[in-house]
Amino acid sequence: MDKGRVERRFAVYVLVLVVVFLTLGGRLAYLQVIRGEYFSELSYQNRIRILTLTAPRGPIYDRYGQLIAATRPAFAVSVMELGSREDMDRTIAGLAELLGVTEDSIREKIRKHQRPFEPVRIATDISPEVHTRIVESRDSLPGVIIETLPVRDYVHGSMAAHLFGYVSEISAAELAKPVWEGYRAGDVIGKTGLERRYDFELRGQDGGQQVEVDVGGHLVDVLGEIPPVVGQGLVLTIDAELQRVAEEFFDVWMERVRTGKGLAQAFPDANRGAVVVMKVDTGEILAMFSRPAFDPNLFATGIDAATYRALIGDPHKPFLNRALEGLYPPGSTFKMVTAAAALEEGKTTPGFTIYDSGVYPYGNVVFRCWRSSGHGRVDLRAALKYSCNTYFYEMGRRLAPERRNDPPQTLIEWAERFGLGLPTGIDLALPGEQAEARGVIAGRDNPLGWQGGMTLQAAIGQGHVFSPIQMAVYAAALANGGTRLVPQVVKQILSPEGKVLWEMQPQEAGLVGLSPDTLREIREGMLASAVELSGPAGPGTSAWLFHNFPIQVAGKTGTAQAPGGDGHAWYVAFAPYDKPEIAVVVLVERGGSGSTAAAPVAKAIFEQYFGLNAGSRPRPPSELPSGGD
């Protein structure tokens, strides 16, 4: 072979090698010198991770300092994303088996995770057995860490569930709202009730740890830490012991109403309702609950899909806060509004009487009293005592406008003066949100097609629908002399150190405008209804309960017609009569008579509040009424 040709080939080979080495060297120089800092940072980030230290939510106390919502430590399983797909697949498969979940559910949580270099939380509040198994399998689960998290703990389970609400992970729809500005995906927020309304105060400030991990994603060292700051605390107006007694007695009594044991009649659908207890001078809510309820602890660590579907699908709607959102015809408990309107507008006098034969003709229609034989001759006081429909039909006729087909504006105005059909303003809604239903006043919200007879029905409480919280404001106004108060459930906000940052002050929503004479007549009628055993037409509608009660009670029963079944039972009351302290409203859906279904619950509440039951559960008297409104 030609020597020159060999030399030329050799030179080409050398040139190629030189180019290759220059390229490799240049690339190494680029990676190590020019981009060295960048790749060093990537390596550091792969070794150094940030762990969020979740702040405990602030504690919640009752008015006497009893802890009713706290936080407790719980183990949580998280995964650090690994560079190796094989390692990640092995970890996901192992965790799915240990936790009893699907691999797809774990992958979905990883996919949704939006915080690079922070662990992805897979499960919260794992059992001690699962914790032990994960620790023992640590070497085969690269990237898995176990954290200790603060978890919301509702000390009394389902007690006051609708008042507290519950906490859960923030949704994408909520993140898009301005009110949640500053929150991030994965944050736990209050979804309803107090937890939602006071989330900004309760949530605290998260801390963090800078930790070093090995190639398997296991924690090696803590390099730095910023401790979390616990949220502010709430002191409620609620009396936890009164709340507990009221809820327990309601549940026991409803079982008796449903079965009819010892009663004249059974009401098998009486398993829903609400109770509100309110201080008449300040608007403080001492107890409030709705039935059926749910356990908010189910949501604190992530409710499982099957349980959630069962709650959502329950036809009794356990998430509905009937105290605020439930709307019901008030029935005879509305008659104090009609009485106030008739007296104040000069349509009647306290001494006016009407003879009740059990029927009241109006045009070509005959309206009937609830007592078919009637109550005989009654004045205003007796009409309230016996809940005489006929007397209030007459008042409705007198309050009706000249044109029979016009809505009764006077009655509408007086209903609004008492706060009925209007939001109360209770402190359970964020700005721009609504926690309570508005309600309907007959004629105001459905004026089309109005006929004269509808005014008579409206006068005895039919055609309207109001919430129990509105009825509590109404009862308190009758008790305190005519001031409509804003109900409130938070008494104080405390700093993490226990310093009072804010304190509740009573808020007036308006004055009813009742004269002292009108107020006295109405209150005397309510007193007679609750305590008088004798009279031409018999005892007052709840006198069987309160005639010998050591505290004088003024009360009004109500049975409201409801389509498709038994009527709703109401009791609206306050005590003591001469110097009122609290108003009590009890509603029992499909409970029939307010005298038998609702009034005994009010009695148990009065016994507890006034310290009459000496710590024992209240027992209703053995003598039960024969019926009545």
Q: Kindly report the backbone phi and psi dihedral angles of residue 334, in degrees, each rounded to the nearest multiple of 5, phi listed first.
A: -80, -10
Peptide bond between residue 539 and the one before it cis (omega within 30 degrees of 0): no
Token duo for residue 133:
């198994």
Q: Using alpha carbons only, what angle is made at residue 210 by residues 207 and 214, rounded to the nearest 5 degrees?
A: 140
- Residue type at position 104: D
CA distances from 598 to 15, 167, 221, 593 (A): 102, 32, 62, 8
Is there a catalytic annotation at residue 332?
yes
Is residue 106 a contact partner of residue 92, using CB atoms and an 8 Å limit?
Answer: yes
Residue 224, beta-bridge partner list: 210
Residues 544, 262: contact at Cβ < 8 Å?
A: no
Q: Looking at the DSSP assignment, which residues form a beta bridge with residue 597?
A: none
Q: What is the dihedral of CA 506, 512, 518, 520, to 10 degrees?
A: -10
In 267-424, alpha helices (H): 297-300, 305-313, 335-344, 380-386, 389-399, 409-417
Dihedral, CA atoms, 621, 623, 624, 627, nearest 10 degrees?
A: -140
Cα 556 to Cα 347, 574, 617, distances in angstroms: 22, 10, 24
Distance CA 609, CA 489 (A): 17
Residues 6+ away with beta carbon under 8 Å from 68: 60, 61, 62, 154, 155, 156, 159, 160, 236, 238, 240
Partners of residue 354 on adjacent β-strands: 378
Distance of alpha carbon 417 from alpha carbon 612, whole angstroms? 35
| Contact present, 501 and 232 (Cβ < 8 Å) | yes
Selecting among 158, 168, 332, 387, the annotated active-site residue is 332
Looking only at the bridges linking them, the beta strands covering 48-53 and 207-213 are: antiparallel
Report the alpha-carbon distance of residue 608 to residue 84 in Å, rounded.
Answer: 65
Q: How far is the C-alpha of 552 from the C-alpha of 480, rounded, in Å?
A: 15
From residue 584, give the alpha-carbon distance in Å to each of 246, 426, 619, 629: 11, 17, 18, 18
β-pairing, 60-61 vs 233-236, is parallel
Q: How many other β-carbons are positioned within 10 Å of the β-carbon of residue 515?
A: 12
Tracing tokens 């560079």 back to the chain, one arrives at: 83
Query: Which value, in Å, is the radius of gyration of the alpha carbons in the chain?
Result: 34
Neighbours of 510 (CB within 10 A): 16
Q: What share of the chain is helix, strand, coil (3-state, %, to 5)?
A: 35, 20, 40
Return the DSSP state at 463.
S
Give the residue carrying structure tokens 């150190």: 497
From 168, 165, 151, select the one nearest 193 (Cα to Cα). 165
- CB neighbourhood size of 33 (10 A): 9
Tell me the C-alpha to C-alpha distance, in Å, between residue 539 and each of 262, 345, 529: 20, 30, 8
Residues assigned a catalytic role: 332
